[in-house]
Amino acid sequence: VRAHAPAGIELAPPRREVSTGPGRHDFEIVVDPTATVEEDLARRDFTVNAMARRLADGMLVDPFGGRDDLAHSVLRTVTPQGFAEDPLRIVRGLRFVSQLGLEPEEETLRQMREEAASVALVSGERIGGGLAADGLGELSKLLLGTQPAKALRLARDTGVLVELLPEFARSIGFDQESRYHSLTVDEHTFAVVQAAADLGLPLRVRLAALFHDLGKPHVAWRGDDERLHYYARPGYADKSHEQVSGELAAAALSRLRYPTELRNRVVRIVRSHMIDPGRGDGLRARKLLSRYGSGVLFDLLDHKEADLRGKGDPPPLEDIEKVQRFREVVEREQQNPYRLSDLAVDGDDLIAAGFKPGPALGQTLRDLLADVVSHPDHNTRDYLLRKAGELR
């Protein structure tokens, strides 16, 4: 079996389901060994998933034309009640748009629009955090597809997106009125998510791309230049857009039951996505490495490039190249000290030199690290012990 199906084979007995309410769990499930394969396939979500092959003779059982729909990249529901029976199927259909490039036919689009509100009834785990064997929910799989922007636009246009992520409500159609952006917040967001997919970036960066600018409509204020601005300014906005975007991301990812570690990483990327390479020199690289750590910093640079690529057509190539050059600088500077563990002395060395355990010792180590980040050649035991004595 493994030779022919490396991922294994999932076995499920033929069942009949009777809906007893509007939610996915409001069903009475009856195992029925007498059900025919055609009856079993009639329970599937889409025609492309409603095919079977007889083991005895290899014959394809395809009562709903799934083979032809797959050949023509058509997404079609098996029954008009499919989305009402399980609203998660709407998000799964959008995932197939992203993964397989399928196009929902008109009746399926009508059903999506009609049942969009029912998406709110689906448990967060099934949409985001994932109850599947691979630990990925339907939204995660959609974002990891090759055409997420296409799927997200369909989600927006059918009303599914706001039901799935209410955090998007104020961003749809929001004109940024900025010389740096020619797209509305939602279109820019979709373009950045697509750029992240085109670059092959991991789920955490794609999730950050999805949320990174949603705070803009919440903090926008108009300056003397008659343009909208999105940074914090006393009397205008208490928080910057990246702070509010981080809060929205945290709320959504928590509701969708994403793992804590992933959630925290995504929120950190969102909150810091306005990172500036500055002059792009080694000192700037070491300071950012010390502040964020190498993992988060490379995520931020990945997101920065995707963000730039999603700013319009043509994208700002000079800025993109600047980020790419800075990435090379960061990669080189990793060999220099930028973490407390890289210092030539540690807390025990300072205690042996007369320091007492406590906050002051920790602050001294941080001060020594700042010195070494600025001057890597200072990272010697003799210099650091002498410097620590001066800081006491």
Each residue's pLDDT tens digit, 182-227: 899 999 999 999 999 999 999 999 999 999 999 999 999 999 888 9
Is there a cis peptide before residue 14, judged by omega within 30 degrees of 0? no
For tokens 């890597």, name the residue: 376
Tell me the pTM: 0.90
Each residue's pLDDT tens digit, 83-94: 998 999 999 999
pLDDT value, residue 116: 97
Each residue's pLDDT tens digit, 321-377: 999 999 999 999 999 999 999 999 999 999 999 999 999 999 999 999 999 999 999
pLDDT value, residue 11: 78
For the segment 377-391, the average pLDDT, to the nearest whole number, is: 95
Residue 146: CA atoms inside 13 Å, Cβ hemisphere, count?
Answer: 4
pLDDT at 21 over 90: no
pLDDT at 18 over 70: no
Residue 245: CA atoms inside 13 Å, Cβ hemisphere, count?
Answer: 30
For the segment 128-138, the average pLDDT, to the nearest whole number, is: 79
pLDDT value, residue 291: 97
pLDDT value, residue 290: 97
3-state helix vs strand vs coil in the chain, percent to 5: 55, 5, 40
Regarding predicted confidence, which is higher, 187 or 28?
187
pLDDT value, residue 10: 76
Contact 282, 333 (CB under 8 A): yes
pLDDT value, residue 14: 80
pLDDT value, residue 133: 61
pLDDT value, residue 50: 95
pLDDT value, residue 294: 97
pLDDT at 157 over 90: yes
